[in-house]
Amino acid sequence: MIAELILAATVSTVAPDKVTWSDSWAKNQAVSYVHLHEPTSPDAVATVTFANELVHTGDAEFDLEFEGIKVSFLMHFDMDSEGRERLEVFPPDGYIARPRYVDVKDKESGFVDIIQWIGG
């Protein structure tokens, strides 16, 4: 669910596992997205990909789901002097995010693994 957004850009959930941002003034610009998908690490149950393509204009809060695992996210727009966006990842009980957040510069991508917590 997309909670509260302070955006000039358009945000849409294109599937239960992906949210995108696009700008009406940047028709040829790549679309930024957060995607919860098949794991890319052997110990993960899912992986988050955040492709940052310059279209964020405000913070966002949303949930995505992959194979029954619902993960919450908090996007911080321009969180530092370099203009990076921070994506915080909040998996459900019984899972951890590694790392817990990623800071991603414009035109770059960041990745987070969702891992089942088996520890004590």
Residues in the chain: 120
Strand partners, 119: none
Instruction: Provide the 3-class DSSP secondary structure of residue 76.
Output: strand
Which of 11, 64, 57, 41 minimizes the C-alpha distance to 112? Answer: 41
**Tens of pLDDT, residues 72-112:** 999 998 877 887 899 999 999 999 999 999 999 988 999 99
What proportions of the chain, in percent to the nearest 5, are helix, strand and coil?
Answer: 0, 50, 50
What are the tokens at 35?
């995607």
Give me the pLDDT at residue 4, please.
Answer: 36
Condensed to tens digits (0 to 9), the pLDDT of residues 18-77 reads 998 876 555 656 788 999 999 999 999 999 999 998 766 678 899 999 999 999 999 998
Phi (first) and psi of residue 119, to 5 degrees: -65, 180
Beta bridge partners of 46: 114
HSE-CB for 8 with a 13 A CA cutoff: 7
Whether this prediction's pTM lies above 0.75 is answered by yes
Domain ranges of the chain: 10-116
